[in-house]
A and B are shown apart, each in its own frame.
Chain A
Amino acid sequence: DQQVKQNSPSLSVQEGRISILNCDYTNSMFDYFLWYKKYPAEGPTFLISISSIKDKNEDGRFTVFLNKSAKHLSLHIVPSQPGDSAVYFCAAKYRDDKIIFGKGTRLHILP
C-alpha cells in the first residue's frame, strides 16, 4: 500500500514558468512533509519541508503548500530554471522519524 503518491512520473515546463509538483498521502498521522531533489548518479538532497501545523512554507523560488483536509501537498518552483531539471521526491514522516518516500516526478525544464 503506497502511503505517499506522486501520480505524475514526469513533467515538462518552459524555462521561466512555474513548475507545480503534486503529492498525495493516505496516512493522517504524518506530521512532517519533505521534498528532495535528485540528480542522476547522486543521492537525493533536501529541498524544503513543512510541518503539518502549517499550510505554506516558502524558501526563495520554492514554496510548499499543504492541504491537510485533502491530504495533498504541492511544490511550486517559480521561475523554473534549467538547473531545476531533476527527479523530485515527496516524503512524509511519522513521529518516530521513519520517512516514507513517493516514487518521484521527473521534471524537465525546457529552454
Chain B
Amino acid sequence: GAGVSQSPSNKVTEKGKDVELRCDPISGHTALYWYRQSLGQGLEFLIYFQGNSAPDKSGLPSDRFSAERTGGSVSTLTIQRTQQEDSAVYLCASSRPRTNQVTETQYFGPGTRLLVL
C-alpha cells in the first residue's frame, strides 16, 4: 500500500514569503507528526496530531509556524514570513492508533527540502 507522501519534495523561496507543506498520511493512521531536520542536526519535533484531540504544538519554534489537519487525514504545515534559519528538511510521519499500551511504529515520508534564500 501507499506510504506517507509529502509535497513538494523541494521548495525554494525568498525570505519573507509564506510556504505551505503538505503531508498525506497512510490511510487509517490517526496519529500524525511533523519534524524538521536542519543541517547537522537531529530530528526536531514540531507538532503532533492524534485523532480528534487538540494537537500538541509544543515543538513549534515560533508563531510563524502553524499546522492543521483536515478531516483527520491530510495535514498542512504553514510557515509565514520565512527566514533563512527555516531552511531544513521537513518530515511528516504517521502511525496507527495506540492500542493496549503498545507503541505503534511511525512511518515517515520522504520529506520536503525547504531552502529560504
What residues make up the interface of A, taking CB atoms closer than 8 Å to B?
A: 4, 6, 32, 34, 36, 41-46, 49, 89, 91, 93, 96-104
Partner of A42, one of B41, B103, B110: B110
Interface assignment of B114: CB less than 8 Å from any CB of chain A: no
Contact A103 B41 (CB under 8 A): yes
Contact B110 A103 (CB under 8 A): no
Chain B residues with CB below 8 A from A102, complex form? 42
Interface assignment of B56: CB less than 8 Å from any CB of chain A: yes
Whole-angstrom CA separation of A36 from B37 in the bound complex: 14
Number of A-B contacts (CB under 8 A): 56
Chain B residues with CB below 8 A from A103, complex form? 40-42
Chain A residues with CB below 8 A from B109, complex form? 43
Binds A, one of B12-20, B43-51, B63-71, B80-88: B43-51
Shortest Cβ gap from A19 to chain B (Å): 19
Contact A97 B31 (CB under 8 A): yes
